[in-house]
Chains A and B, each alone.
Chain A
Amino acid sequence: MYRNMHVIVVGLSHKTAPIEIREKLAVPESRLGEALGRLCSYEGVREGMLLSTCNRVEVYSVVEDVEVGHERIQEFLADTNLSLSSEQLTPHLYWYTGDRAIAHLFRVAASLDSMVVGESQILGQLKDAFRVALAHKTTGVIMNKIVKKAISVAKRVRTETKIAETAVSVSYAAVELAKKIFSNLDEKTVMLVGAGEMAKLAARHLIAQGVRQVRITTRTPKHAIDLADKFGGTPVPFDHFKDEMAAADIVLVSTGASHYLVGAEDVQRAVDKRGNRPMFLIDISVPRNIDPAVRHVDNAFLFDIDDLTHRVQQNREERLQEAEKAERMIVEEVAVAVEWMKSLEVTPTIIALRNRVDEIRRMEVERVLGRLSHLSPQDRELVEGLASAIVNKLIHRTLVTLKAEVNSSNGLAFVEAARRFFDLDRPSPSDLSEADRSRYLAGRSHASDREESESVAHKQVR
């Protein structure tokens, strides 16, 4: 009997451990190879992958014994940073096995376990972790399949739910709003007034979305020139940026000024100059730099930091709703993966293989004997014996090898191969309906025999 293999995950994340612990445990990419080698050198640890990001450090592994594997991996984690005692570490660790471990991996990949649900970075980080494990050959049949599945599940979640559709950062919320005013940002001009970090970030997002014209003004001319270089924009003298405002479709203001820099009448003048083309103003400064009275100017749309934060909050709630859909998808996908895991056990594979070849033998013998009705009973027995002998000899080596390799490191590869060679994951002919069965027979006999085999199938129906 093949020893059962178990998927296990042991680790900690932003949900269970403070940054002080996470940063100590994190493994830099340069040391991942060494760590993976150490992990797999433990007795009973068959496969391993290490996912180390700023929000989580997790060991995914395939072990022979759950309890032992769990202890070994805890040991491994405690050894990763010698300044961490296992007493310090253990309270923060969680561990799952079997279907729950697989579900956890799927949830992590789909960004359901992230600090910002729906963020896309984690999938890239998982791919990197998998790539490193592949390069160091510490993953095998099970991990390869499960991790690839996790990646495809994450993609499915991304395309079939709206989990990643809305902005969850203030700077990106500005872009989202801009898109409700301007359908095409390509030909739009953005003006950056002041150089607050958030405004710069928003400008960067806008450029990434197609905005080509960037004008920049800061109180210190030198600063504006530097920034203009960085963004590929043009500097505008601070003294008359209000006159230039009419040329800007989007105005991003974030200066350290303690009073309103832009008044309602300035905006009204700009809108008039623009022939009433809409204008989008974002005030990310605290205290505010744009007079809130701008709200009353037609065709000017002003949003301050609170509006953007409110929008982000709303989007986060929406994402959580979408996350519920994603959770349901993951339940489905985990069931499929668990089914596959079960198929990897040797005994059921041997039974399925025997059944499959017996089925084929029986059908072929019946078909031939149907045509050779003149044979004596002894001759019939001979034909049947011949068929059995051929079949048994053919599968003998396969069965012996499967049993022999049960406990070798690549035993699973043999099981997987046997299942593919003999097509064991498809229903056997006896499971098929009569119509399917005749199609099955027709498909695998020679064209000239087709009518023959179909008539055999009909006889069987009767």
Chain B
Amino acid sequence: MASVCFMITMALYLAATVSFLVYLLRRSDALSNISLGITAVGFLFHTVALAAKAAVSSSSSHPSFFEALSFFSWMIILVFLLVEFRHRIPVLGSFMVPLALMSLVSAAALPETVPTLKPVFKTLWIHVALSMLGAVGFTVGFVAGVMYLIQERLLKSKRFNVLYSKLPALDFLDHLNQQSIVLGFPLLTLGIVTGAISAEFSRGSYMTWNPEQTGAVVTWLFYFVVLLGRLTVGWRAKRAAYLTVVGFACVILTLVGVVLKGHGDVS
């Protein structure tokens, strides 16, 4: 049941991605509703798949890397649908749906054996969920940043093309960027704290400076500085956009760290 739903979800996200990309390049807005519809249906299947999976696995079992990434992509679509519902900017889908698809595909591509985290403590679930939610926040910030940089470039070079007409206003993108980091940062903080606690229980040490932990701490520090810069010395607009793009690279590296750790020391 769950795996069939996952397959359908993936197919629908793929269709939505194609549709959203075509929408991006064409002057007509006709495709936006179709793309949105496909995404929404895909999201429903995704929800069913996740629920079915959750019902099967008992609470004592541990979250697999696949489930974590699947949850991550589910959250991205959820956030996209919420923002779209509130602000009506379908072009966001042209950026976020492909990301969700990529994360789902890479989850499916990973060997099943990778993610066996130690099933020691229930906090592991909370740790994974919180960290993933933080990552979703940074992903939205990244998307807003990329869109900002594109729109900024188009305005500066006075190229009023299709993309220009579809992308939203600069200050909206900057605001979205700020909001997503403001939300993502505390979630990541809690994710790291719960991770450290569960590490203490499983390995007897809060920090072992493995790739995952190192990545997480670097990411945390980076966003801490970004937030601080915005609040104090006006690191907003273009600079904030650049910084969130760099920050997202940290997030990706951390996730790679998680995979590496899964391969290496399953202590």
- A residues contacting B by CB (< 8 A) are 177, 179-184, 272, 274-278, 295, 298-299, 301, 303, 307, 310-311, 314, 318, 321
- Report yes or no: B160 in contact with A311, Cβ–Cβ below 8 A: yes
Asked if A276 and B160 make an inter-chain contact with CB atoms under 8 angstroms apart, the answer reads no
B238 sits at the interface (CB 8 A): yes
The residue from A272, A278, A318 contacting B171, defined by CB atoms under 8 A apart: A278
Chain B nearest CB from A150 CB (Å) reads 26
Q: How far is the CA of A249 from the CA of B151 in the complex (A)?
A: 18
Complex Cα gap A182–B174 (Å): 10
Chain B residue, CB-CB nearest to A308: B158
A275, B234: Cβ atoms closer than 8 Å = yes
How far apart sit A29 and B30, CA to CA, in the bound complex (Å)? Answer: 43
Which single residue of chain A is at the shortest CB-CB distance from B170?
Answer: A181
- B118 close to A (CB within 8 Å): no
* Interface pairs (9), CB distance under 8 Å: A180-B155, A182-B169, A272-B234, A276-B235, A277-B237, A278-B170, A278-B171, A298-B239, A321-B27
Write out the residue numbers on chain B whose beta carbons fall within 8 Å of the beta carbon of A298.
Answer: 237-239
Choose among B167, B169, B238 the residue that contacts A299 (Cβ–Cβ < 8 A).
B238
- The reply on B186 being an interface residue by CB < 8 A is no
Q: How far apart sit A276 and B243, CA to CA, in the bound complex (Å)?
A: 14
Interface status of B86 (Cβ within 8 A of chain A): no
Number of residues on chain B facing chain A (CB within 8 A): 21
Chain A residue at minimal CB-CB distance from B158: A307
Are B160 and A314 in contact, CB atoms less than 8 angstroms apart? yes
Residue among B156, B167, B172, B174 making CB contact with A295, cutoff 8 Å: B156
Question: Do A303 and B236 touch (CB < 8 A)?
Answer: no
CB-contact partner of B169 in A181, A276, A310, A318, under 8 A: A181
Residues of chain A within 8 A of B167, CB atoms compared: 180
Query: What are the residues of chain B within 8 A of A276 when measuring CB–CB?
Result: 234-239
Most buried by B among A177, A179, A181: A181
Contacts of A301 in B (CB 8 A): 155-156
B216-250 with Cβ < 8 A to chain A: 233-239
* Interface residues in chain B, defined as those with a beta carbon under 8 Å from any beta carbon in chain A: 27, 151, 155-156, 158, 160, 164, 167-172, 174, 233-239
Do A277 and B236 contact each other (CB < 8 Å), given the known contacts A181-B155, A310-B158, A314-B160? yes
Asked whether B169 lies within 8 Å of A180 as measured between CB atoms, the reply is: yes
Per the bound structure, the CA–CA distance linking A195 and B160 in Å amounts to: 28
For B233, list chain A residues within 8 Å (CB).
275
Task: Compute how far the CA of A430 lies from the CA of B160 in the bound complex, rounded to whole angstroms.
Answer: 59
Further contacts, 4 of them, CB under 8 A, given A180-B169, A276-B235, A277-B234: A177-B155, A180-B164, A182-B169, A298-B237
Q: How far is B164's CA from A314's CA once the two chains are assembled, in angstroms?
A: 13
Which 7 pairs between the two chains have the least Cβ-Cβ distance?
A: A275-B234, A183-B169, A183-B172, A276-B234, A299-B237, A276-B237, A181-B170
List of A residues within 8 angstroms of B151 by Cβ: 180
Interfacial chain A residues near B174, Cβ < 8 Å: 278
CB distance from A140 to the nearest CB of B (A): 41
Smallest Cβ-Cβ distance to A307: which chain B residue: B158
Report the minimal beta-carbon distance from B131 to chain A, rounded to whole angstroms.
Answer: 31
B196: shortest Cβ distance to chain A, in Å?
A: 35
Contacts of B158 in A (CB 8 A): 303, 307, 310
What chain B residues lie within 8 Å of A299 (beta carbons)? 237-238
Question: Could you tell me the distance in whole angstroms from the C-beta of A248 to the nearest C-beta in chain B?
Answer: 15
A310–B236 Cα distance when bound, in Å, is: 30
- Residues from chain A with Cβ under 8 Å of B235 in the complex: 276
Chain A residues, CB < 8 A from B169: 179-183
With beta carbons under 8 angstroms apart, the residue of A180, A278, A307 that contacts B237 is A278
Q: How long is the Cα–Cα vector from A435 to B37 in the complex, in angstroms? A: 35
- In the complex, what distance in Å separates the CA atom of A307 from the CA atom of B160? 10
In the assembled complex, the Cα of A330 lies from the Cα of B165 at a distance in Å of: 27
Max chain A Cβ within 10 angstroms of own Cβ: one of B151, B174, B235: B174
Q: How far is the CB of A131 from chain B (nearest CB, A)?
A: 35
Nearest Cβ in chain B — how far from A384, in angstroms? 58
| CB closest residue in chain A, given B28 | A162
Question: Cα distance A453–B232 when bound, in Å?
Answer: 84
Instruction: Give the CA-CA distance A276 to B174 in the complex, in Å.
Output: 11
Q: Which residue of B lies closest to A273 (CB)?
A: B234
Task: List the B side residues contacting A183 at CB < 8 Å.
Answer: 168-169, 171-172
Q: Which residue of B lies closest to A322 (CB)?
A: B27
Cα-based distance from A303 to B160 in the complex (angstroms): 13
> Closest residue to B155 on the A side, CB-wise?
A301
Q: How far in angstroms is the closest Cβ of chain A from B48?
A: 36
Q: Within 8 Å CB of A179, what residues of B? A: 169
Q: Using Cβ atoms and an 8 Å threshold, which residues of chain A touch B234?
A: 272, 274-277
Q: Which residue of A lies closest to B240 (CB)?
A: A276
Distance from B61 Cβ to chain A, minimum over Cβ atoms (Å): 46
- Write out the residue numbers on chain B whose beta carbons fall within 8 Å of the beta carbon of A307: 158
Could you tell me the distance between the alpha carbons of A295 and B168 in the complex, rounded to whole angstroms?
A: 21
- Minimum distance in angstroms from B150 CB to a CB of chain A: 12
Contacts of B238 in A (CB 8 A): 276, 298-299
Instruction: Check if B155 sits within 8 Å of A275, measured CB to CB.
Output: no
Measured between beta carbons, the chain A residues less than 8 angstroms from B156 are: 295, 301
Tell me how far the C-beta of B154 lies from the nearest C-beta in chain A, rounded to whole angstroms: 9
Bound complex: CA of A83 vs CA of B120, how far in Å? 102
Residue of B nearest to A302 (CB): B156
Closest to A315 in B: B160
Compute how far the CA of A276 lies from the CA of B234 in the bound complex, rounded to whole angstroms.
Answer: 6
A282 to chain B, nearest CB (A): 13
A318 to B27, CA, bound (A): 10
Q: Which residues of B contact A277 (CB under 8 A)?
A: 171, 234, 236-237
